[in-house]
């Protein structure tokens, strides 16, 4: 069976500096796959390339069997690959509801859009309670919920989440991770980049450890969670 996402020997450069150096991995439908590693490992660059914001200098990206190498970013969204970026990038002066509607900008099915907005409120009740509030008045964790809800509005076949717990309190981080677990239970396919390696690997079917632009270790989430080198390097254990 062909994987939903196939990344083969992906290379990405900023000028003469190669940030991603021949990365290969797959994501099967219904899986949660995580990329972990320190800052500068190439995780965010990989996601930005998959979503069309950066262009690779080599390798292949196939989504549902279709090459994405020359596909513009908005068409990649239309194909079913949504990206909730690091830093959230919500529109602070717009209401929560208008931010969600922007996630459906390629859709014309009004009843479906209204249904998915309600689903976002069911997933994140705090957003429903404040739907007419300016998004910029939300806390960091609530803004992360909004960014995830907005990405889901495009009805993605694969949802990419970049550092969803960054800068959040422990309680809010737990809420975000619980939401990712809920999405997984609903069959949502997720590619997760996350600084909190323990939380990410606990959720993941498959994990890949990245260092300076390459994948140095791969395995099931549970195998990596119990790997001695991973525990020392990323889980803060001696």
DSSP class of residue 134? Answer: B
Q: Provide the mean pLDDT of the chain.
A: 92
Report all structural domains of the chain as residue ranges with CATH numbers, in order of start.
5-80+156-234 (3.40.50.300), 92-154 (no CATH)
The pLDDT of residue 238 is above 70: no
From the number of C-beta atoms within 10 Å of its C-beta (0-12, 13-18, 19+), residue 212 rates as middle
Round to whole Å and give the CA distance between 41 and 202. Answer: 21
pTM of the model: 0.91
Q: How high is the pLDDT of residue 104?
A: 93
Q: Helix, strand or coil for residue 168?
A: coil
pLDDT bin (cut points 50, 70, 90) of residue 166 is confident
pLDDT tens per residue, range 100-148: 999 999 889 999 999 999 999 999 999 999 999 999 999 988 999 999 9
pLDDT tens per residue, range 225-236: 999 989 888 876
CB 15 within 8 Å of CB 57: no
Round to whole Å and give the CA distance between 30 and 170. Answer: 27
pLDDT tens per residue, range 21-34: 999 999 999 999 99
Percent over 70 (pLDDT), the chain: 97
């Amino acid at each position: 069976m062909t994987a939903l996402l196939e990344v083969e020997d992906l290379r990405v450069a900023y000028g003469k500096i190669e940030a991603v150096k021949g990365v290969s991995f797959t994501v099967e439908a219904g899986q949660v796959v995580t990329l972990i590693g320190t800052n500068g490992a190439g995780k965010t660059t990989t996601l930005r390339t998959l979503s069309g914001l950066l262009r690779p200098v080599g390798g292949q990206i196939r989504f549902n069997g279709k090459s994405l190498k020359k596909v513009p970013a908005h068409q990649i969204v239309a194909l079913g690959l949504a990206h909730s970026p690091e830093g959230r990038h919500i529109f602070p002066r717009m209401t929560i509801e208008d931010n969600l509607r922007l996630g459906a900008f390629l859709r014309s099915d009004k009843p479906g859009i209204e249904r998915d907005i309600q689903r976002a409120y069911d997933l994140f009740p705090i957003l429903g309670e404040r739907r007419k509030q300016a998004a910029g008045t939300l806390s960091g964790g609530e803004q992360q919920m909004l960014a995830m809800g907005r990405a889901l509005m495009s009805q993605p076949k694969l949802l990419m989440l970049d550092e969803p717990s960054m800068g959040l309190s422990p309680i809010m981080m737990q809420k975000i991770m619980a939401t990712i677990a809920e999405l997984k239970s609903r069959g949502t396919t997720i590619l997760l980049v996350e600084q909190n390696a323990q939380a990410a690997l606990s959720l993941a079917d498959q994990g890949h450890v990245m260092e300076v632009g390459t994948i140095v270790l791969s395995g099931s989430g549970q195998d990596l969670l119990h790997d001695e080198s991973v525990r020392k390097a990323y889980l803060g254990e001696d």
